[in-house]
Amino acid sequence: MIEGNLMKSIPRSAVVTGAARGIGAAIALRLARDGFAVGVVDLDADQCAATVASIEAVGGKVAVAGADVSRSEEVAAAVEQIADQLGGPTVLVNNAGITRDNLLFKMSEDEWDSVLGVHLRGSFLMARAAQRYMVEAGWGRIINISSTSALGSRGQVNYSAAKAGLQGFTKSLSAELGRFGITANAIAPGFVVTDMTRASAEKVGLSFDEQVEKALVKIPIGRPGRPEDVANVVSFFAGEDSAFVSGQVLYVAGGPRG
């Protein structure tokens, strides 16, 4: 078990972006339960208090950094701060995201740029900052959170383009970094109950119950997703059992997608 022996000698440190709530918070907690020290990153560090408390409650070690992931200087400072406190990160989960939904003819350049900036530019900047620690360790895991919207979604040309771009980004990282012992995979959640999906219901004039009912028509399993459903897959990709899995996109959507 070369992989297992190596795993014992490398820093068990992870960074999760967009970790203040929802899917990001669930991922951070799951990785802490798996034995990783976890650096949680969000736009406002103070908003991560609940995530930090949940990690500390299970005996986990945690550091928090505030950063706009679309700004290179803030990303560099956040990753360096976490590395100083927890050791160089060997797991990176690019989860930070925003929505600025609109139909194409109404969409502003700012709505396009801000979504692409957080999802794509942010993932690029975080991966670039974190990979040097992984290369040094000879082991790493980069996990990008895409979406079923990568397949196309009305009123989300910006979000869909960003999430599809993350899938190509993931495959390219896999090809480029594999020789350093680093894998890269993407997870594409379907409908998951979060503050973001609740907000999207309001934007289209639906109650959240109505939105869930509409979503369930397309989910064979018959229930909406939970943040923990995504966190469970992150746990797999971040661990030893996924050592020979790289460049893949796994749809976590309660049924076949992609």
- pLDDT 10s digits, 70-88: 999 999 999 999 999 999 9
State residue 250 phi and psi, 5-degree precision: -110, 120
Residue 178 binned pLDDT confidence (cut-offs 50, 70, 90): very high
Q: Which residues contact 105 (CB under 8 A, 6 or more apart)?
A: none
Q: First CA to last CA across the chain, in angstroms?
A: 34
| Predicted local distance difference test score (pLDDT) of residue 8 | 61
Architecture of domain 13-190+226-251: 3-Layer(aba) Sandwich (3.40)
Chain position carrying tokens 């620690």: 133
* C-alpha span between 119 and 70 (Å, rounded): 8
Question: Looking at this protein, which amino acid is placed at residue 15?
Answer: V
Q: Check residue 57 and give its pLDDT.
A: 98
Say what the pTM is. 0.94
Confidence of residue 212 (pLDDT cuts 50, 70, 90): confident
Of the candidates 12, 13, 170, 141, which has an alpha carbon nearest to the alpha carbon of residue 79?
A: 13
pLDDT surpassing 90 at residue 66 = yes
The per-residue pLDDT of the chain, averaged, comes to 94
CB 197 within 8 A of CB 211: yes
- Average pLDDT, integer, range 126-131: 98
Active site residues: 159
Numbered ranges of CATH 3.40.50.720 in the chain = 13-190+226-251
Rounded CA separation 239/232 (Å): 11
| Distance (Å, whole) CA 32 – CA 52 | 10
Closest by Cα among 77, 126, 73 to 97: 126
